[in-house]
Structure 1
Amino acid sequence: MVIPKGKVVHEDLSTSYTNIHELLSDLRQNSFTGYCQVNFWEYRGTLFLDRGRIINACEEIGNEQNIGDRAIKSILNKASQKDGTVSVFQLQDEMVATLASVLNSKVKYKDLTTELTSLEKLISKLKKEEHSGYVEVLLNSDSGDGCIYFQDGRAMESVFRASDGEMISGPSGFKKILGLSTEVGAVFNVYESDMSSIVIDNSVSDEVIRVFQDTIAAVEDAVDAKFGAGKFMDDFKRVIATNANKYLFLDPFTGEFSYKDKTIKFEGETTLEDFSNGLADVITQIVELFGQKDSSVLDSIFLKIQSVKERHIQVIDRLKLDMKIPSVFGDRAVSEPEHKDDDAKETKGKRRFWPFGGKKSSEDA
């Protein structure tokens, strides 16, 4: 599958100096739609983002390919290594949705040739069928290849890739594919979108549990530091009990959920939505409770939670915890004294990410 390049936002940033989590966080804050690509020798990982949230991913290692959650985790891990590059390209919403849905697409027509049909006739047929997916065009005589993407019968984008790797998108790419398929002949493979390939995790996974476990632990540390050891757990148990009627998995008598020694144990069968909403309500209520006693604890919680956000930003985004628990994961300004000399020492030697429109100063170059 040949991916259209789109509008360049960042190109060939070194993985040695780019923090992938900070980059994705910036894209999320800017409601970015497009894809982020990580490249190494014989490796390409592509994260597709819709309004800043990863909806699917594809990882290519030689001739092997991974998609979905497994690819997301592997790409993020790979991006933390040296000697690679990271690029970001902006695309239209519909194009990203189409690309994300065809990663695990189903073959509709296989090995059609120009001896049997023309590309024009095939496109006309797919329009009538209101096809969503793409046509892979394999040109004869080592003349390159290309893709034509469809959404509900509309040809949305075309990408031609020459044998030397040069790519042409849009109307020019379509004309190139059409002309060469007539001139030298081609093989056509038609793939139908599979919307189920878009990442939607409906299970309460270990990863989800760790996010809430680390979040509650961070709040506990901040509260106990302010009010004294054990103060958090006393009120936390009471808040859990008051929510047990609405969220049955929290009922202490069923024993499905427990939090002790900064560890969550969950042995229930509730839905991901019920689990995340229930704990989001509990965390919101406990933060509000202690915030009313001393509002300065909110600043302490905000500072404690930053490392949690850095470790789990993808799951936090997926569960929309910034909206469900704004008092914890929402943006917040903390007033602190400036220590410019200390800040300089802290940042020296660390990897940096240059956000939208940012430029390196002569000092940083």
Structure 2
Amino acid sequence: MIVIPRETPVVSNLHTSYIRIRRFVDHFRNALPSGCVYLRAPGSEGAVYFDQGALINAHICADGESRGRQPALEELLRTADAARHTVSVFEIPEESIGYWANLNEAALIHKNLTSSTVDLEALMKKIIQDRFTGLIEVLNPPGKADQIHVIMGEIAGAVLGKSGGILRDPNQELGRIMASAKNERTRIAIKRVQLEALHLSDACLHDKEPTRGQARGSLDTQNPVEMLEVLLGVFEQTYADTKIQTDPFDTVLKRKFLEKVSRYEFLDPFTEEFSYQGGAITYTGTDKVQRLVAAVTECLRELALERGLGMELQQNLKSWRQQYQREIDAFKAVV
């Protein structure tokens, strides 16, 4: 289970099929002071933690097991390439990032404590007084463990066993956890978390991304095509999330392309010069990439207006604009 503060999301639930995950991680580790990139797929979840541009840890939880550090980082990037994940980015304060980054490596100090051997309220007072850093797990009879997280003697949050790792306000949950700890069948464990940051190698962020789109021409055409792939992916996700659209996105997009064939011949589906499928662009036309960018962005601007996607789309495009600002300016990719 990955537990992280989620109060300050920068990006939420973006599909990895629409992004270049290595470039994505590399961008946000430099764009934010500290935080994490959180990935989730059916049956697994993981996070990459960063502080002041450095990768300080990574964890992946899958099949009931937890793996960390460099192997976890490389596995997360590899699986994000191969399968669909949702990805979110959270900014986490510098003073606590070390705790959350190292949480899954917490060292067990005491286990199987019971209400007859320890008074949890008295224990909490001592922990706060001693400026302890770690967590108290309260394992209830149904088998779900509640958690109380403490950083340098300050209660940082509580997690209810049934909440799936969602960090909650301790002021609202602490009383309930304390009460459940008085059950004779409840077991209590104490774990210590180190605040010292690790430093992982970032070489894997610079590995070549698996090819997802094709473009004929010089290498200078690759970035704008990649920019369009991500743009189309964000647009498609926004379209799907509205849940009021009756037509599939690919049908709507092809219909719009057909409207523009007299101006942009390569959009004609029968010529097979341009296609967008599965998050990837294939372009074999002879027109310059500037016209390709102009054609796609013009179509998307009109679709956004016609389908009422304006405000939500602009919100979802914030990270796209940050990531591709240079290409957007150079190719006048206005959406």
Shared fold, TM over 0.5: yes
TM-score, length basis structure 2: 0.57
Partner of 2:88: 87
Unaligned runs of 5+ in 1: 215-302, 307-337, 348-352
Matched ranges for 1:116-131 at <5 A:
116-131=117-132
Secondary structure of the residue aligned to 1:80 is: helix
Alignment of 1:10-159 (within 5 A): 10-142=11-143, 144-159=144-159
SS at match of 1:200: coil
2:198 alignment counterpart: 199
**Alpha-carbon distance between aligned partners in 1 of 2:92 and 2:202, rounded to the nearest angstrom:** 33
SS of 1:172's partner is: helix
Is 2:308 aligned against 1:340?
Answer: no
Superposed displacement of residue 52, structure 1: 4.5
Q: In structure 2, what is the Cα distance between the partners aligned to 1:195 and 1:29?
A: 21
- Residue in 2 aligned with 1:287? none
Following superposition, the deviation at residue 38 of structure 1 comes to 1.3
Measure how far apart 1:121 and its partner are.
Answer: 1.7
Alignment of 1:212-361 (within 5 A): 340-343=290-293, 354-356=317-319
Distance 1:146 1:90, change over 3 A: farther
Report the Cα distance in structure 1 between the residues aligned to 2:34 and 2:25, rounded to whole angstroms.
11
1:205-231 Cα deviation digits (max 9, x unpaired): 8959x98xx9xxxxxxxxxxxxxxxxx
TM-score, scaled relative to structure 1: 0.53
Tell me, yes or no, if the aligned pair for 2:15 and 2:86 is still in contact at 8 Å.
yes
- Is contact 2:2-2:45 (8 Å) kept? no
Question: Aligned equivalents of 1:152 and 1:346: distance in 2?
Answer: 52
For residue 5 of structure 1, report the CA deviation from its aligned partner: 4.0
Whole-Å Cα distance in 2 between the matches of residues 92 and 206 of structure 1? 22
Secondary structure at the counterpart of residue 181 of structure 2 = helix
* C-alpha distance in 2 between matches for 1:118 and 1:190: 13
Cα 1:74–1:102 change in 2 (3 A) is: same
Unaligned runs of 5+ in 2: 209-219, 224-287, 298-315, 323-332
Tell me by how many angstroms 1:343 deviates.
4.0
In structure 2, distance between residues paired with 1:26 and 1:38: 16
Tell me how far 1:67 sits from its aligned partner.
0.7
How many residues matched? 229
- The alpha-carbon distance between structure 1 residues 88 and 177, as it changes in their structure 2 partners (threshold 3 A), is farther
Query: Which deviates more, 10-19 or 62-71?
Result: 10-19
Paired residues of 1:57 and 1:69 also in contact (CA < 8 A): yes
Q: What are the Cα deviations for residues 87-114 of structure 1, in whole angstroms up to 9, with x where unaligned?
A: 2223222332112233323211122122
Q: Secondary structure at the match of 2:18?
A: coil
Name whichever of 70-79 and 174-183 sits farther off: 174-183
Query: Is residue 2–residue 146 contact of structure 1 (8 Å, CA) maintained in 2?
Result: no
RMSD (Å), alpha carbons = 3.9
User: Which amino acid is the alignment partner of residue 146 of structure 1?
Assistant: D
Preserved CA contact (<8 Å) 2:131 2:152: yes
Instruction: Note if 1:160 corresponds to 2:184.
Output: no
Give, in angstroms, the shift of residue 137 of structure 1: 2.0
Aligned mates of 1:51, 1:178 — CA distance in 2? 37
Letter in 2 for 1:73: E
Closer, same or farther in 2 for the Cα pair 1:126/1:68, shift >3 Å? same
Partners of 1:130 and 1:153 within 8 A in 2: yes
